[in-house]
Amino acid sequence: MSNQSILKKTASELSTLIARQELTSEQVVYAHWENMVQLQPALNAAAFIRWEGALKEARILDQQLAGGKIKGTLHGVPFTVKDWIDVAGMPCAGGDIKYAKRVPAQDATVVRRLRQAGGIVLAKSAVLVEAEMYGRVCNPHQVGASPGGSSSGEAALIAAYASPLGIGSDSGGSIRQPAGYCGITGLKPTSGRVPLTGHFPQINPLADPRTVIGPMARSVQDLCLALNIIAGEDGVDPSVMPVPLSSAMDVAIPGLRVAFYTSVDEALNVAPVAQEIVQAVQNVAKLLEKSGCQVQEMAPPLSIEAMAITRDYWARPESGSWDEWQVNSMVSTLSADRVEQHLFAWDKYRRSLLRFMNDVDIIICPIAERTAALTGEDEGSVIFTAPYSLTGYPVVAIPVTKSSNGLPIGVQVIAGPWREDRALAVALVIEQAFGGAPL
């Protein structure tokens, strides 16, 4: 099989081909490494490439397979990791020069689990659209377009066929926006589903449950594969709950109650959603109706008070517009009274959305109000992504089509707490019908 054919395979397909000994892990690792190195000058998506160690592990896994031993469901498959997640022996600086010499001695829980399943770390991916440590990351669909942030390099590598599977993190849209802008799939799991152990900077999940770690890939099946590996308690992160993980294959699509929306309250002062994105959401709604779902256009509660929580905790606005956020610090300095006010508002918002979800199984909405920004243009707001970080609900970002200028358009598929199975099942229907937005 040619290297080009190998690169077009999903992680699930590669796992099957390696297990059947129709491909070797060494072939698969080499093909992705070669493509990554060739694309690096144009995309700048890899922060640190791990070649010799990855090749050595691939050869060992090939030898084990020849002896009849399969390590796990990812046996011999390479994957990449956002540079906010620890990989033993590799730098983890989060794009910040002052942490350039930080080299963790242990893997993050998610990395350890993927390795135990037979996966091979091939690279750490660049974070943020433009970090001081490694510069600007480019979108494979148009080099002058933004890949979205902050799992920027991860989305770019996967979209460009330099990685079949990746691990990102999401606090307000950091898996979903890059997935949408680069035309791949991404899962923000329920808060408390996947351990944050080994995330850098360290997150206190009890103080700020918005941040989650999740998989990114080119297929929904790969999201399911990765989630089954990385989910569950690790004995370290106290926020992870022992809630069983249900299979998307067991979800009955007919009868699901689906709400969709394409706009928000004008008082939030957000730019209108591009018409091509509105059309994509409407097309998904029509598809689900034809699939037997009960579909209605209905927006969940989205209060200015609730969005102010994300604004104050995550960013300092340069103006009153939600379009013009400038992320100056991960956590802003708030008074004790202000924190208490936010906690009450946060709880009130979570309760209101939970009441909404009593009558709805799935929500469909845009990822952002625009496609990927070109150099110098506004990046777009988090008005469609941040609400579901505040509630901790599972969300799949899934590509649907491309815009008239060739940039991917995706939608969010939101389910209630702990119902990743529903979000993934609906995303699978969308993927099968529309075929995504491949490079």
Paired sense of beta strands 165-170 and 362-366, if any: unpaired
Q: Is the pLDDT of residue 323 over 70?
A: no
**What's the pLDDT tens digit per position in 77-102?**
999 999 999 999 999 998 888 899 99
Check residue 270 and give its pLDDT.
81
pLDDT band at 329 (very low <50, low <70, confident <90, very high): very low
Check residue 269 and give its pLDDT.
74
Q: What is the distance between the alpha carbons of residues 153 and 236, in angstroms, rounded to a whole number?
A: 28
Q: What is the distance between the alpha carbons of residues 78 and 114, in angstroms, rounded to a whole number?
A: 10
Check residue 439 and give its pLDDT.
86
Lowest mean pLDDT among 141-145, 202-206, 238-242, 249-253: 202-206
Q: Which of 348, 339, 354, 262 is closest to 305 using CA atoms?
A: 348
pLDDT band at 320 (very low <50, low <70, confident <90, very high): very low
Q: What is the distance between the alpha carbons of residues 22 and 13, in angstroms, rounded to a whole number?
A: 11
Q: What is the distance between the alpha carbons of residues 180 and 255, in angstroms, rounded to a whole number?
A: 27
**What's the pLDDT tens digit per position in 170-197?**
999 999 999 999 999 999 999 999 999 9
pLDDT band at 303 (very low <50, low <70, confident <90, very high): low
Check residue 207 and give its pLDDT.
63
Check residue 324 and give its pLDDT.
35
Torsions phi, psi of 277, nearest 5? -75, -40
Q: Rounded mean pLDDT of 217-241?
A: 98
* Contact partners, residue 377, CB within 8 Å, separation at least 6: none
pLDDT band at 431 (very low <50, low <70, confident <90, very high): very high
Q: Is the pLDDT of residue 316 over 60?
A: no
**What's the pLDDT tens digit per position in 17-50?**
999 999 999 999 999 999 999 999 999 999 999 9
pLDDT band at 325 (very low <50, low <70, confident <90, very high): very low
> Residue 100 class from Cβ within 10 Å (0-12 exposed, 13-18 middle, 19+ buried)?
exposed
* Contact partners, residue 148, CB within 8 Å, separation at least 6: 129, 155, 177, 178, 179, 180, 181, 182, 372, 379
Check residue 333 and give its pLDDT.
56
pLDDT band at 381 (very low <50, low <70, confident <90, very high): confident
Q: Which of the given ranges, 63-77, 122-136, 307-321, has the highest pLDDT on average?
A: 63-77
Q: Rounded mean pLDDT of 40-65?
A: 98
Buried b / exposed e over 322-356, threshold 16 CB at 10 Å, is bbebeeeeeeeeeeeeeeebbeebbeebbebbeeb
Give residue 381's identity as a one-letter amino acid code. Answer: S
For the chain, the structural domain boundaries read: 3-248, 250-434
CB-CB contact of 193 with 394 (8 Å): yes
Q: What is the distance between the alpha carbons of residues 95 and 216, in angstroms, rounded to a whole number?
A: 20
Check residue 334 and give its pLDDT.
63
pLDDT band at 317 (very low <50, low <70, confident <90, very high): very low
Paired sense of beta strands 185-188 and 165-170, if any: unpaired
Q: How far from each other are the two terminal CA atoms of the chain, in whole angstroms?
A: 21
Alpha-carbon separation of residue 180 from 16, 147, 278, 408 (angstroms): 27, 9, 14, 7
Q: Is the pLDDT of residue 319 over 80?
A: no
Alpha-carbon separation of residue 85 from 10, 178, 230 (angstroms): 23, 17, 13
303 or 215, greater pLDDT: 215
- 250-434 CATH pick, 2.10.109.10, 3.90.1300.10, 3.30.930.10, 3.40.50.1970: 3.90.1300.10
CB-CB contact of 342 with 334 (8 Å): yes
Check residue 331 and give its pLDDT.
42
Q: Is the pLDDT of residue 306 over 80?
A: no
- The CATH number of the structural domain formed by 3-248 is 3.90.1300.10
Helix axes 11-19, 220-230, angle to 10 degrees: 70
SS3 395: strand
Q: Is the pLDDT of residue 328 over 50?
A: no
Check residue 31 and give its pLDDT.
99
Q: What is the distance between the alpha carbons of residues 224 and 394, in angstroms, rounded to a whole number?
A: 13
Q: What is the distance between the alpha carbons of residues 12 and 222, in angstroms, rounded to a whole number?
A: 6
pLDDT band at 379 (very low <50, low <70, confident <90, very high): confident
Catalytically active residues, by annotation: 82, 150, 174
pLDDT band at 133 (very low <50, low <70, confident <90, very high): confident
Q: Which of 105, 79, 83 is closest to 92 using CA atoms?
A: 83
Paired sense of beta strands 395-402 and 408-415, if any: antiparallel
